[in-house]
Structure 1
């Protein structure tokens, strides 16, 4: 249906004017299987965004073959695995279709989102965008004293020494910390490899120690260091690249849903099927939506957004 509407709207000009297919990625990078409603809209995963990418690079109608694909990113990062998968899918589609890719950072493209930013043949940011954070993090908590005060006895039975790795209700063992640090270091190495492959000898003016430290830079600083290719807005840069008469075709879903979606009801509402949601499902979904809002704002607040 979307392709048909685009065809009807642009049928007189699509064969004459250059098209740029735009994909907007916003939210935390994390797996999204089984997640519904507003929670799903806040996640960037391969499952969720692959249909948009395929539509952007390989539209059903030949008249919508793009002159370029532009990807706009606004994310504090998240899953290293999902970042690697999406990066790989973008590069594979670009190679298969021989379509140039341009990536743009909005407010923030940090950590795993910077990994995604590297998927562009050319990489851009706004002057005040936050870019970088080339590092890996694993955050947990410890409640050893709290569980003692509550008089709770923790009972965990395992087959395998590390099946209860970093259990928050007991003291951390030295060998556990070392094992986790090895995993983080290896993941960090994969991130570094992606940066070296994408930016090569463009990076200058920053030491290795600082580059891999996990710190962030503004878009203007990132350009001076070679982490990005320049400071630019998506629309302006694409007009410069393909012409002032460019037409933009958005291939991703709207970032905000309707009222039912905002309340966390969209995944459970069955009115069109002649059934009503049970009160437990509605209450549970609304609670999940509120908790998701708190978690999302906490993640974005990490970068002062």
Structure 2
């Protein structure tokens, strides 16, 4: 990953960036060459900002398919569209919503035959990095936090507290594993087996997604998939 700065430039070939009705120019030799490849037209670079926790619902405060569908459709509907930039600032969240958003943007890019690149602001961790992999290139500042390719599930156990106060837990189920990970009952070996299976399955999807998206750019280090995170400078 390399550092990318957004700033104003006076260039003979203007670059119009569409973001909720506001335009700016990008200072990049690579972008100058890109826009100069389309003579006699004003090329458009659309920006899609993906900021917040990745989760269903949230009334617009979260990143999810329902929330970004209209923004993505608008970004890819611009005339003379040459490039779409994802500006990402997310600590991650739902692997399902991460994949749905990724696939929706990817399909739009393939349909319009437009390149997508990703810019990392403060953080693109876990599901945020899943989204960053939508881009053919990923740019970050030296202090951006990136990666943490892994899956986690956490909670609390309260069974000793309710026993201390003489509270009896009453649960009736149909299905032996219906009450897996009940926080008011001691954890069972079967609970751990089930949860490990779920986490490992999701983790494999994440690893495969990153490998397929980034390819040879990953290098050969196994630490990449350890769940650790790094600064943009460390992984450049």
TM-score tier after normalising by the smaller chain length: 0.7 to 0.9
Distance in 2 of aligned mates of 1:85 and 1:16: 33
- Structure 1 residues not aligned, in runs of 5+: 7-14, 224-305
- For residue 54 of structure 1, what is the aligned residue in structure 2? 73
Q: Secondary structure at the match of 1:103?
A: strand
Query: 200, 204, 207: which one pairs with 1:192?
Result: 207
Matched, 1:150 2:165: yes
Matched, 1:26 2:51: yes
Aligned pairs (5 A) from 1:72-221:
72-204=87-219, 207-208=221-222, 210-221=223-234
Distance in 2 of aligned mates of 1:174 and 1:58: 52
**Do the aligned residues in 2 keep the contact of 1:109 with 1:130 (CA within 8 Å)?**
yes
Distance in 1 of aligned mates of 2:102 and 2:161: 42
Using structure 1 for the length normalisation, give the TM-score. 0.63
Q: Secondary structure at the match of 1:194?
A: helix
- Structure 2 residues not aligned, in runs of 5+: 1-17, 22-39
Query: 36, 42, 48: which one pairs with 1:17?
Result: 42
> How far 1:16 sits from its partner (Å)?
4.3
**Do the aligned residues in 2 keep the contact of 1:129 with 1:218 (CA within 8 Å)?**
yes
Q: Which has the higher helix share?
A: 1
Distance in 2 of aligned mates of 1:75 and 1:123: 14
Distance in 1 of aligned mates of 2:202 and 2:189: 20
Distance in 2 of aligned mates of 1:146 and 1:65: 64
Q: CA RMSD in A?
A: 1.9
Distance in 2 of aligned mates of 1:167 and 1:132: 31
Distance in 2 of aligned mates of 1:97 and 1:131: 29
**Do the aligned residues in 2 keep the contact of 1:143 with 1:169 (CA within 8 Å)?**
yes
**Do the aligned residues in 1 keep the contact of 2:48 with 2:71 (CA within 8 Å)?**
yes
> How far 1:151 sits from its partner (Å)?
2.7
